Structure 1
Amino acid sequence: MTSTSARPRLAAGQTTDKDIASFLAHTEPVDALAQDGYLAGHDGRAIAQQLRRPGLVRALTFSVCHSARPDTDRFYQDDEEEAAQWRRRRTQTIRDHCAVCPVRAACAELALRDEDVHGVRGGLPEEKLALRLATDADRLGKARAADDRVERLRSVRLDAEREVHRVALMHTGGSVPAAKRAENNDEVRTAVQERDAAKKAHRTENGWTVAA
């Protein structure tokens, strides 16, 4: 994490909950958001909605399900178990595991992005996940499109990085003529510029405004 003095600040007038959530999502590392409790509860929901899919996946490494490995079968109804008894048991399981999970908002958001409404995700049972999937359909569609753009730009960035290495290794050694070496140097500079542009585009689409 950057020092306090170097960290970007909210612009004047950016005081809405969405502004603050976007600022935190785009300036704080996901690990810090998870460890500091910013991805749980109502506020965590707003921040999780601003994260791209790789960040949500990363956040789940801090989940109770990842660290404590609880029996997730407890979220599902047993054969011949009465519905009322199962719902009580499921509610207690949510209290025991999801309510204390530091990234439950990220867990729910990732499930919605993936349209996974089976079982319990982020403390939300199937019926609540399905309802939120319907009511947030427009937002989720835009979020998925943004996730796709980030993945495409990541692929472009990786290709550009490989191209730098390929061009740099084309003409090496003392026997290479000076003219060919100069030409190769120009090609390397061009490849580096394209790589840097691809890296900047990828970071911008991710919303990264500080070094990651």
Structure 2
Amino acid sequence: MKNQNSLFIVFCLCLTVGMMGGYAVLVGHFNGHEEYEMRLANLQKQVEKEKFNNSLLSYQLKDFQQTVAQVLPDDKTLQAKYELKNLAAVVRAPASEDSLDLSGALYEKGKRYFNGQEYDRAIREFNKLIETYPLSQHNVEARFFIAESYFLKKDYRSSLGQIDEMVTQYPQHDLTGFILLRMGQISEMNSQTEEAAEIYKTVAKNFKNENLKKQARKLAQSIE
């Protein structure tokens, strides 16, 4: 009888221990599940934020694609537009501007800031050059360095704005071709590989600089 009681007590103790262990496992499982749900919710918020940012870039890129499709047109439409802009700038320019052209000094100062990776200062100097000396021979280089500075700062929207200006004002300049490669890279970062490939092919087809064409073809092949 005593043995039976002992066995019964042992059985009850084992059952109790088993139930407590099972409860602990269940509690751990559901607590872990709740933590997983919280992490998943945070990840979903991050994804939505990235989708919103990408949609903004996508909208601006699509707006520029019509301009990119007309790079180096045979009918000289954009070239005529640029010549009219130059004529308007001549009319507005003060008579004393030619006698005191400091655009070269501003350009070299901007380049020093750029080479020193002080991109905000470089942007200010190059913008000052463009605004003060609209007919300077350094304007196209200034536009290029502004666009490149924004790109290196990862301010891609501002970089795209400068690229659009270069395509409009200097459609045949080699620097326009090089900065369009940056536009293609922005498209790639925005998961728009087809648009990026089209930009690279356009550059390779329409520009004469062999180094530029080689880089454009290499970038196009890398995403095919």
TM-score using structure 2 length: 0.24
Higher helix share: 2
Larger radius of gyration: 2
